[in-house]
Amino acid sequence: MTERLTDQVFPNGDIYSRSFDEVQLNGKAKYTWSDGTIYEGDWEGGKMSGKGLIVWSSGAKYEGDISGGYLHGFGTFTGPDGSVYRGTWRMNVQHGIGTKQYSNSDTYEGSWKEGVHEGSGKYCWNGGNTYIGNWKGGKMCGRGVMKWVDGDRFDGFWLNGFRHGSGIYSFADGGYYFGKWSRGLKDGKGTLYPAGCKHPSLKKWHNSLRRDDRNFFLSHSSSLNSEAGRATRPSVKRSLSEKIFIDGVLRSTGRILRRASFSDENWGLFDHGRNIRCHESSSMSFHSSHEEQHEAKDNSTLFYEREYIQGVLIKERIRKLAEVSPKTKQRKKFNVKEATGNSCMDIFKGHQSYYIMLNLQLGIRYTVGKITPVPMREVRSSDFGDRARIRMYFPRKGSQFTPPHYSNDFYWKDYCPMVFRNLREMFKLDAAEYMMSMCGDDGLRELSSPGKSGSIFYLSHDDRFVIKTLKKPELKVLLKMLPYYYHHVGEHENTLITKFFGLHRITLNGGRKLRFVVMGNMFCTELQIHRRYDLKGSSQGRFTDKDKIDETTTLKDRDLSYAFHMDKLLRESLFRQISLDCMFLESQRIIDYSLLLGLHFRAPEHLKALVENPSALPHGDDGVSQGEPLIPSNGLLLVTHEPSSVSNAPGSHVRGSTLRAYSLGDKEADLLLPGTGRLRVQLGVNMPAQANRKLWQDDDSGVELFEVYDVVLYLGIIDILQEYNMKKKLEHTLKSLHFDPTTISAVEPKLYATRFINFLKTVFPDVS
């Protein structure tokens, strides 16, 4: 093989200088492309490999490691605009740890993935604002701290570049706001402690944020995945040939410049971050003025309990620290010692909740693992029988079939495993995902009971499933109903009845038994649920003590002050299914069930603009807006369904078809939420409506004044395990329905269903 030391000019105008052999480029050399791009450095086997310097005709340059024709390893890239990145690369993109100084003097230092910020990192704006925390897809996502140059600070959770979730906002003057945010706006309940006011230990709040941190990405995984496809990526510009011809032989070398013309692709999202603060000061709200702040400074015991809907303050309560005693705080916590004698909770005395959850996870993991390999088949009548059980003993030391564990010895029973396996298949619940939700390392969260049943509730770490303790009569009702329930759910994909996915029993030392049912969580949604109602169509005792209401309280019939106006076809679909479900419950002699209703309020866009930037509205000398009157824009919009624009993945609580809307000409509908996203409208899920509340009425003129909100509804029929012949429970039901308990025969399940449906028609009136 001969070697020459001379310039070689290729037919396309490229020039190669210094040593090369007749077959392929090797050694140190300079290569000049016809467009003016120059490479000086190492070659191996006809490819740029080793150390080298590339200067593009645009003025951009790279100096560092190259492998197989790609920027790969450690290197420094200077863009044509003067931006500089110094760090690691993988296959032509920034990947690993690196620092970038942008052309406007902003800087980022931290982790990169596929050319965008991902992982932990620090971003400093040229104005002095700083964010330190987690990133995802080039956006602030996860736990992070934003510090503004004027001294304000936010420590909490972020999603796609917005504050989203729990957080602590501290003002430069020493005040604090503890609350929740949704896509950058305060959303839900929070507490404002003005400057000079005593406040809870910040250490306690920071510890609470740390506990939430581990579940953040799991609970928002669907949102993150939907955004991943739209994440900004480096632009691609091929500034030189992908192929180089050498003596007529085709050689692949030019891949290195496929992404060579790097622009400041990330600047668009950081420009948003620059203005993300949006003036959090408490004086911005409608009900809090500078005078209130001054008063609070004079009296260090005053603080404010507030509630927001998408940044709009709708409720405020001025409190004194003396009003919130330690006993009051303790009552808000779940305490097993307060359980009544007939409560399921009394069996937990002497047993830590952790052990019960561990037992549940061990049993579910064993059951799902045992039933999953069995070939799929149709459910048989024997699958519902007394022999359709899986029984297993879990000694602490482990056995031939069970692993060792840290709980106490216990016996496990799984009821009708093939039936519930097929129910999970109906809802397209993957066995591995189901086990991860229920049995992952993050465990289960214990919730206090929203009712008087004394049941204990657990929530899976990703919020998809609810686990509830059952009394023995309730378990018997479910087993008796199960064949008919299975048929009903299979026949009606849009059913609103509770979705059951597992039925289990744990027997503890001493013979005490705990019975559990696994259900789909109908409130598993990315949207904030601002209100929850349990509706039976009764007034007797159906109200909530206002002093006991917090953001998690489930309200009752007499607490509901709204009527919900829906699209004509959506309402027809809703009541058609409610009637079918009530007919089924009537056939099973079931009474005392409820409609669980969740409301997500949407603040009108013009109100959000007013809160975020009051100066944007023109005012005359008299303080009245000049020019065109403000027309309230909708907080939501029904649009024609586009399958490619929304996720069609079924949730743990729904598997029905997309609904049709009258307002769209009988076409399938999506729900468009400005500033949030696009959702698929299904029965009981993402259903839009207007919530109307009457504020005033003049009987003489007939004039009525209403307060109107756009809302998104989530609803389902729950508590379906009370049989007509369960007289102890029935007696309470009869009283609530104003019947004489001595005339039990006067009440039939049909009468309960009729009353229930008629009540719901007043909640969702026909306005066509």
Q: Are 166 and 156 in contact (CB under 8 A)?
A: yes
Q: Are 596 and 532 in contact (CB under 8 A)?
A: yes
Confidence of residue 54 (pLDDT cuts 50, 70, 90): very high
In this structure, the answer to whether residues 582 and 461 fall within a common structural domain is no
Sequence-distant (6+) residues with CB within 8 A of 95 are 88, 89, 112, 113, 114, 115
In this structure, the answer to whether residues 98 and 128 fall within a common structural domain is no
pLDDT digits (tens, 9 = 90+) for 165-203: 889 999 998 889 999 988 888 888 888 988 887 776 666
Which DSSP letter does residue 550 get?
-
Distance of alpha carbon 236 from alpha carbon 673, whole angstroms: 32
Confidence of residue 71 (pLDDT cuts 50, 70, 90): very high
- Does 602 fall in a domain? yes
Question: For 528-545, b where at least 16 C-beta lie within 10 A, e where not — what string?
Answer: bbbbbbbbbbbeeebeee
- Does 488 fall in a domain? no
Q: Are 602 and 635 in contact (CB under 8 A)?
A: yes
- Pairing state of beta strands 20-21 and 107-113? unpaired
Sequence-distant (6+) residues with CB within 8 A of 633 are 604, 605, 606, 674
688: domain CATH number? 3.30.810.10
Q: Are 297 and 171 in contact (CB under 8 A)?
A: no
In this structure, the answer to whether residues 756 and 711 fall within a common structural domain is yes
pLDDT digits (tens, 9 = 90+) for 483-530: 999 999 999 999 999 999 999 999 988 888 999 999 999 888 888 888
Residue 593, domain extent: 526-608+634-645+655-697+704-767
Q: What is the Rg, in whole angstroms, of the alpha carbon atoms belonging to the chain?
A: 32
In this prediction, residue 702 carries a pLDDT of 66
In this structure, the answer to whether residues 534 and 514 fall within a common structural domain is no
pLDDT over 90 percentage in the chain: 36
At residue 206, the 3 state secondary structure works out as helix
- Does 334 fall in a domain? no
Residues 327-346 have a mean pLDDT of 39
pLDDT digits (tens, 9 = 90+) for 255-294: 344 333 333 333 333 333 434 444 444 433 333 333 334 4
Which one has a higher pLDDT value, 615 or 52?
52
> Is the pLDDT confidence value at 144 over 90?
yes
Distance of alpha carbon 560 from alpha carbon 533, whole angstroms: 8
In this structure, the answer to whether residues 511 and 550 fall within a common structural domain is no
- Does 549 fall in a domain? yes
Which residue type occupies 175?
A: G
Cβ neighbour number for residue 679 with a 10 Å cutoff: 22
Q: Which of 40, 74, 103 is the last residue of a domain?
A: 103
165 dihedral zone (left: phi>0; alpha: psi -120 to 50; beta): left
- Does 23 fall in a domain? yes
- Does 480 fall in a domain? no
Sequence-distant (6+) residues with CB within 8 A of 181 are 156, 157, 162, 163, 164, 165, 167, 187
In this prediction, residue 391 carries a pLDDT of 93
- Helices 431-439/353-371 angle, 10° precision: 170
Q: Mean pLDDT for the chain? A: 76
- Does 278 fall in a domain? no
In this structure, the answer to whether residues 682 and 578 fall within a common structural domain is yes
Which one has a higher pLDDT value, 561 or 582?
582
Which DSSP letter does residue 237 get?
B
For residue 97 the two structure tokens come to 């740890």
In this structure, the answer to whether residues 116 and 96 fall within a common structural domain is no
Number of domains comprising the chain: 4
Sequence-distant (6+) residues with CB within 8 A of 33 are 13, 14, 240, 241
Task: Compute φ and ψ for 486, nearest 5 degrees.
Answer: -60, -45
In this structure, the answer to whether residues 362 and 456 fall within a common structural domain is yes
82: domain CATH number? 2.20.110.10
Q: How many CA atoms lie within 13 A of 57 on its CB side?
A: 11
In this structure, the answer to whether residues 68 and 123 fall within a common structural domain is no
In this structure, the answer to whether residues 39 and 59 fall within a common structural domain is yes
Q: Are 77 and 100 in contact (CB under 8 A)?
A: no
For residue 378 the two structure tokens come to 């149709």
Residues 593-600 have a mean pLDDT of 93
Task: Compute φ and ψ for 78, nearest 5 degrees.
Answer: -110, 120
In this structure, the answer to whether residues 560 and 641 fall within a common structural domain is yes
Q: Which of 76, 103, 130 is the last residue of a domain?
A: 103
In this prediction, residue 706 carries a pLDDT of 73
- Helices 417-426/353-371 angle, 10° precision: 80
Q: Which of 83, 103, 123 is the last residue of a domain?
A: 103
Nearest CA among 297, 267, 273 for reference residue 283: 297
pLDDT digits (tens, 9 = 90+) for 202-239: 666 666 665 555 444 434 443 434 343 333 333 333 33
In this prediction, residue 73 carries a pLDDT of 93
Nearest CA among 248, 252, 46 for reference residue 29: 46
Beta bridge partners of 86: 76, 99
> Is the pLDDT confidence value at 351 over 60?
no
CA-based end-to-end distance of the chain: 90
> Is the pLDDT confidence value at 449 over 60?
no
- Does 674 fall in a domain? yes
Which span out of 250-254, 348-352, 577-581 was modeled with the highest average pLDDT? 577-581
Distance of alpha carbon 515 from alpha carbon 535, whole angstroms: 26
375: domain CATH number? 3.30.800.10
> Is the pLDDT confidence value at 598 over 60?
yes
In this prediction, residue 520 carries a pLDDT of 92
Sequence-distant (6+) residues with CB within 8 A of 39 are 30, 31, 32, 48, 52, 53, 54
For residue 203 the two structure tokens come to 């250490």
Which span out of 280-284, 361-365, 614-618 was modeled with the highest average pLDDT? 361-365
Which residue type occupies 574?
A: L
Least confident stretch, 442-451, 602-611, 682-691, 744-753: 602-611
In this structure, the answer to whether residues 66 and 120 fall within a common structural domain is no
